[in-house]
Amino acid sequence: MALLLCGAAASTVHQLTPAPLDTVAAVAAARDLPAGATLDGADLARVQVPPGTVADGFFGEQDQAVGRQLAGPLRKGQLLTDAQLVGPGLLAGTPAGSAAVPLRMADPSSIRLVSPGQLVNVVLTGAGGFEEARPPEVLAKGVPVLWTSTHGGDGGQWLGTAETEGLLVVAAGAEQAARLAGASTRGKLFFVLVGP
């Protein structure tokens, strides 16, 4: 009789226990990580999460992200996607045809005032010297900052150079990108912080 009762109890518990959820492998930060960090295996943890909790561009294996550079900080446990790394993924969510345009600011110390995600107007001033002075020209309005030399370290794989002092990378439409490309050869570039 006792065996029958135990069997019935086990059957009831089995029926009341929900079936395990389907999961997928994802990569998360193993600890709080600062912007500009170059990721290694100790920085990352492989976790199992429900499929609906992962965003496009997520990483399923740690080795896909090792050696890449963070564009912004990550909290411990936060899932990693390509949009959080220095590289083409930074353009995720921008309008079709957007380009990542690197700009060298005339005042490198001003880069400390801006962070990825902020909107800026990019202004070109006269070259100075013996050339005729001309009024400042706004080359792009309200473009989002993708990366700065202060928050992004040494440029990593994306910029391919350690000469990053004073660099700011913005997302620009095709027309804006054409105006911004090579603008620093025509004068001095500055940015103005603007609201959304």
- 40-54, 73-87, 140-154, range with the lowest pLDDT: 140-154
Question: What's the confidence (pLDDT) of residue 133?
Answer: 67
> Measured between alpha carbons, how far is 34 from 13 in angstroms, rounded to an integer?
46
C-alpha closest to that of 91 among 77, 71, 74: 71
CB 78 within 8 A of CB 109: no
Percentage of the chain modeled with pLDDT above 70:
79
Question: What's the confidence (pLDDT) of residue 183?
Answer: 86
pLDDT in tens, 91-138: 888 888 888 899 999 998 888 898 888 999 999 997 555 556 678 899
Question: What's the confidence (pLDDT) of residue 134?
Answer: 73
Kindly report the pTM of this predicted structure: 0.64
Residue ranges per domain, the chain?
21-85, 90-194
Question: Does residue 145 register a pLDDT over 60?
Answer: yes
CB 165 within 8 A of CB 158: no
C-alpha closest to that of 98 among 6, 183, 177: 177
Phi, psi (5° rounding) for residue 125? -110, 165
C-alpha closest to that of 149 among 93, 71, 92, 88: 71
The domain 21-85: what is its CATH number?
3.90.1210.10
Show the tokens assigned to 8.
């019935």
Q: Which residues pair with 120 in a beta bridge?
A: 143, 193
Question: Does residue 189 register a pLDDT over 90?
Answer: yes
**98-107 in b/e burial notation, b at 16+ Cβ within 10 A?**
bbbbbbbbee
C-alpha closest to that of 166 among 177, 181, 155: 155
Question: What's the confidence (pLDDT) of residue 142?
Answer: 93
Question: What's the confidence (pLDDT) of residue 78?
Answer: 92
